[in-house]
């Protein structure tokens, strides 16, 4: 659920709440896969670069992060949006997600193409 709150500067913003003591102000969508060769990792990065401006232009985007683990060979893209506008993106089937994932699946030596949605809240 999303509720209207005020921060210490008296600006209004919407914050989600899972339980009384678990709130969030950000919802993220993760696109991930496993890569097996340097060539496949390079191709994954190319797919991201080719879609980055479209992703960054989504309404409410707070951050776009890329995570690469050389040990477990993960390639992840995390798109974080303000909690109160995430539903609009969800209603559009997370565009350009389907195209992005299809391009990852087409790369030789890429496997386990998956997505996940989760909440974020800074604890700083």
pTM here is 0.86
Selected residue with higher pLDDT from 28 and 2: 28
Nearest to 55 by CA among 22, 101, 18: 101
When the pLDDT of each residue in the chain is averaged and rounded to a whole number, the result is 89
Selected residue with higher pLDDT from 12 and 36: 36
- Residue 115: pLDDT above 60? yes
Residue 14 confidence (pLDDT):
57
Q: At what angle do helices 97-105 and 38-56 cross, to 10 degrees?
A: 170
Residue 11: phi and psi, rounded to 5, are: -90, 140
What tokens appear for 98 in the block? Answer: 């389907």
pLDDT digits (tens, 9 = 90+) for 13-51: 456 788 888 888 999 999 999 999 999 999 999 999 999
55: confidence class by pLDDT, cuts 50, 70, 90: very high
């Amino acid at each position: 659920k999303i509720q209207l709150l005020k921060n210490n500067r008296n600006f209004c913003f919407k914050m989600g709440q899972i339980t009384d003591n678990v709130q969030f102000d950000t919802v993220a969508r993760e696109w991930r896969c496993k890569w097996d060769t340097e060539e496949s990792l390079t191709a994954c990065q190319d797919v991201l670069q080719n879609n980055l401006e479209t992703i960054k232009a989504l309404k409410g985007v707070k951050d776009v992060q890329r995570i690469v683990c050389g040990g477990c060979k993960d390639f992840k893209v995390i798109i974080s949006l303000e909690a109160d506008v995430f539903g609009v993106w969800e209603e559009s089937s997370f565009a350009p997600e389907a195209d992005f994932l299809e391009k990852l699946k087409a790369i030789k030596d890429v496997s386990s193409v998956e997505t996940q949605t989760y909440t974020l809240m800074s604890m700083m």
